[in-house]
Amino acid sequence: MARKKAALDFEQSLTDLQTLVERLETGELSLEDSLSAFEQGVRLTRDCQAALAQAEQKVQILMERDGEVQAEPFDGDEPA
């Protein structure tokens, strides 16, 4: 359950960040609202970066064999 919550939190943070960027890009916000949105965006960005770093660590742990990380090429076009 914790994994689903973390994934949902990441997805929601990313969606919120995209919405903030769109609002800022319109140029219709006041200076105060723009600053507030920017501050919120910075927090969301940090949250997303932390979630991605944690996911990367988990992947490294899962890929570790005999005490060494085995790098494997990633081809996103291959069927799963």
Q: What confidence category does residue 74 fall into, taking pLDDT thresholds of 50, 70 and 90?
A: low
Residues making up the chain, counted from first to last: 80
- The full set of domain ranges for the chain reads 30-64
pLDDT tens for each residue of 7-41:
678 999 999 999 999 999 999 999 999 999 999 99
Q: What confidence category does residue 61 fall into, taking pLDDT thresholds of 50, 70 and 90?
A: confident
Name the average pLDDT for the chain: 83
Token duo for residue 65: 């064999």
Q: How far apart are the C-alpha atoms of 9 and 23, rounded to whole Å?
A: 21
Token duo for residue 37: 């949105």
- Residue 39 CA: distances (Å) to CA of 9, 19, 29: 18, 14, 14
